[in-house]
């Protein structure tokens, strides 16, 4: 019995998603938007993320106070790496 209820819920949700997608594609300016959202969703399933954060960098970001995070250009949830570079100034 729980399987039948679960199956009906899944079918209902899938039909609702398909209906929403088809309605969105009938709006003239939303066709490109719905297509691009579909492509972004599909590519996120197929391709791994471009930047991944190692555990050490994640711990470093969590341990940094807010002033240091902002100084290095990062904020909560941003996948960034702290790179030490020497900048040569012309002049």
Predicted structure pTM score: 0.27
Mean pLDDT of 17-33: 62
- SS3 category, 32: helix
pLDDT greater than 70 at residue 59:
no
pLDDT of residue 52: 54
pLDDT of residue 76: 46
54-86: buried (b, 16+ CB within 10 Å) or exposed (e) per residue? eeeeeebbeeeeeeebeeeebeeeeeeeeeeee
pLDDT greater than 50 at residue 28:
yes
Q: pLDDT band at 27, cuts 50/70/90?
A: low
Break the chain down into helix, strand, coil percent, rounded to 5. 65, 0, 35
Mean pLDDT of 41-49: 59
């Amino acid at each position: 019995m729980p399987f039948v209820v679960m199956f009906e819920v899944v079918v209902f949700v899938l039909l609702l998603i398909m209906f929403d997608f088809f309605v969105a594609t009938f709006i003239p300016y939303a066709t490109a938007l719905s297509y691009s959202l579909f492509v972004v969703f599909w590519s996120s399933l197929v391709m791994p993320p471009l930047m991944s954060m190692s555990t050490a960098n994640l711990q470093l970001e969590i341990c940094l106070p807010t002033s240091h995070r902002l100084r290095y250009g990062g904020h909560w949830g941003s996948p960034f790496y702290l790179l030490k570079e020497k900048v040569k100034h012309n002049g």
